[in-house]
Structure 1
């Protein structure tokens, strides 16, 4: 991993940690039973905290898979929960690879309607593809209305490049 990737990774992690520390309002706990694969993991505290707050969920087999990559659909779902974006009735989703019976349909439709994702030029979203660091950073910037042009150049080269290419891949 080169220096730019490390800085971008650190910035993304710090962003999520910062949003956790700034949570002021009390949130009712979710009926969280625990995950069967996070004991001793470095992020166990944060995983459990966010699961209790209903911001993240594991898999049907009771696992969380903390070392596994995150798909674009999973990331959008978490982003909606972290930023309190909710769906409603009559949501439309223009992506040809996102169907109404997909578990992520509502979250992708909400993200599209909110304008922080746009998909690919061929009309797809690639919900099961792993999200890249740059894509995740762009989504976070859009969610907080942050312009990467105001970020120190060393930190935002990959983000700036993605933004200047029109970001049709989100």
Structure 2
């Protein structure tokens, strides 16, 4: 997993180096995730990179009723991950990434719940790794790593350290 997370660090490094205009102008989250996904494509050859992907294999991605995450994207609170690294045809789901802007005042719990669900091994074709990133204009202000449906504290600490070592975080 550290190999894949190192690729995320490299993608973030390139993203911050290339997208200063969007970051300084406080572009919308979807614009930022698209540009970050472009950097993911360079780091994950042989994998498809999609934004707001709404499928698990041939099925539409849905969570059980009554959860705090909706399958209705009307309020932009859907289960659809911001960025995924996967192989659509097999399906083989490697990485789901949720991106938040530091100025986002929506509860963090929504994205955390989504990543717990997306990495839950009991979910059909679950993602192997989930990453939550909060982006500021100059650095990542918060990150978490999810595996097997829970927050992986050890990997989260390791990943935060890698971001700090790369000059991408003050944590």
**Same fold (TM > 0.5):** no
Larger C-alpha radius of gyration, 1 or 2?
A: 1
> More helix by proportion, 1 or 2?
1
> More strand by proportion, 1 or 2?
2
Q: Which has the higher contact order (CA 8 A, sep 6+)?
A: 1
TM-score, normalization by structure 2:
0.30
